[in-house]
Structure 1
């Protein structure tokens, strides 16, 4: 089976602010931090969330990419939260919850954690949870608002692939988007069809309860839930003028253009972008070869 060129990501124990800033934040190096949340992560269980929000109705998404004029934010179904948690604990499923914001949906959970003191200025409006089952995958992408992310996992296990912004040229990035061609199987890549993937260099990390993954701004991530679990993402918004300008472009221009073209042309626009991504990457690959 074909595999991408991945190295194990560095794992460290709890770290002080000065060391984190100098070794990881400033050079924009990802790292897995163990023991960072030991003071409070024992409270973060399926049972606790079910007791607080089990009667809510939640939107659910699956592994299939949106097609045609369908919005990427349109759920495939809805379910009572408590029933969904039971499903995660008993049955492999690809159903996921995407961006469950705590301030909006379950503010009481905010009483059960402390922002890690590692020097990141977190955007405290948007602590968000993500849930997935044992068949859930999150397509390869980077975040449109280019934050520095601290991704903390609870319950179950998950695998994360990470790729730096400099790897975009090999990943068949789709224009006016934050993801690559959705036909690419990141777990078993077709190097004959997508030869640029042979040049990709990235990292791989396995996460368990309480692990905190630092993902620098603009880093690609591809996530596989190995069994039912959930994670919380804390975001620190871009601080450099260049990153801030890129974030504003992504959110207010690129997304507007993409959504407008999708509403007008539907699947034709998606197919056009995919062909564009393929041709552009192949041309770059040819230049590298020559």
Structure 2
């Protein structure tokens, strides 16, 4: 059954949108949207590409991550390699690579970049810390996950194309969520799923889009997201606090309890804990959906 596809509809697109329409049509009903020209008045819209980043930040040493599965060998968010930004951008331009940068405070390292963007007036309560940047090489992927703080996210893409697959929180029961974590099973290929191994995925209904340079994706609270860099490029996210009290409570639980419990169990049991969680992701999903294999 590997040739079957997931149930994914295209994310709606608008060229521009008023604050009132954005809140009414997308934030309140918690639906995603791509806004194509939200940031065309930012200096970043014209300036930001890989060559510009190399010019202003080439001497910075950056942390790199690849597509290897989570294991007990590395601490959570521990980098797999490091190199100068100039070398990394040369690597990106040379061809496909799995190396990515994520959650990196480049604007703190290079303050001049802070002049190139502004917080959009769209009715969201943005967290005003400096936004982080995400870089990826052609064909590199960010595994399916949702964010620990249940934020409303505006995700801006620069240089090239990026595929985004989203699922609302209501679909979690179909996605083989790993317990005590924010991820789905990492061995699921959401671009070409194996329904023999993961049959419940056939029930999941989500969204898909391709982001181009300068476009903005709105991801509502707790939405699952899987990213594939179709070409080398980079993105930036602005985060806004949860409007839903239940989601705010889940975020507090994740930050105060779940994250620390999982870290403790990793130290205590190592790889056995990670293997156990992956097994439970399948068992619980199949039990919840009355599947027997």
TM-score range, shorter chain: over 0.9
Aligned pair partner of 1:39 in 38, 41, 45:
41
Instruction: Give the superposition deviation at 1:121.
Output: 1.5
Tell me if the contact between 2:108 and 2:130 (Cα under 8 Å) persists in the aligned partners. no
Tell me if the contact between 1:141 and 1:179 (Cα under 8 Å) persists in the aligned partners. yes
After alignment, is 215-224 or 47-56 more displaced?
A: 47-56
Q: Which runs of 5+ in 2 are unaligned?
A: none
Tell me the TM-score normalised to structure 2 length. 0.95
The aligned counterpart of 2:168 is 164
Change (3 A) 1:239 1:27: same
Aligned residues: 288
Instruction: Output the CA distance in 2 between the equivalents of 1:192 and 1:92.
Output: 29
Root mean square deviation of aligned Cα: 1.4
Instruction: Output the CA distance in 1 between the equivalents of 2:63 and 2:39.
Output: 28
Instruction: Output the CA distance in 1 between the equivalents of 2:180 and 2:233.
Output: 31
Q: How does 1:132-147 map to 2 (within 5 A)?
A: 132-147=136-151
The aligned counterpart of 1:283 is 287
Instruction: Give the superposition deviation at 1:101.
Output: 2.0
Aligned pair partner of 1:10 in 9, 12, 34:
12
Tell me if the contact between 1:140 and 1:220 (Cα under 8 Å) persists in the aligned partners. yes
Aligned pair partner of 1:230 in 229, 234, 238:
234
Instruction: Give the superposition deviation at 1:14.
Output: 1.2
Q: How does 1:69-218 map to 2 (within 5 A)?
A: 69-218=73-222
After alignment, is 36-45 or 146-155 more displaced?
A: 36-45
Instruction: Output the CA distance in 2 between the equivalents of 1:102 and 1:217.
Output: 25
Tell me if the contact between 1:65 and 1:72 (Cα under 8 Å) persists in the aligned partners. no
Tell me if the contact between 2:62 and 2:83 (Cα under 8 Å) persists in the aligned partners. yes
Any idea what SS the aligned residue of 2:289 has?
helix
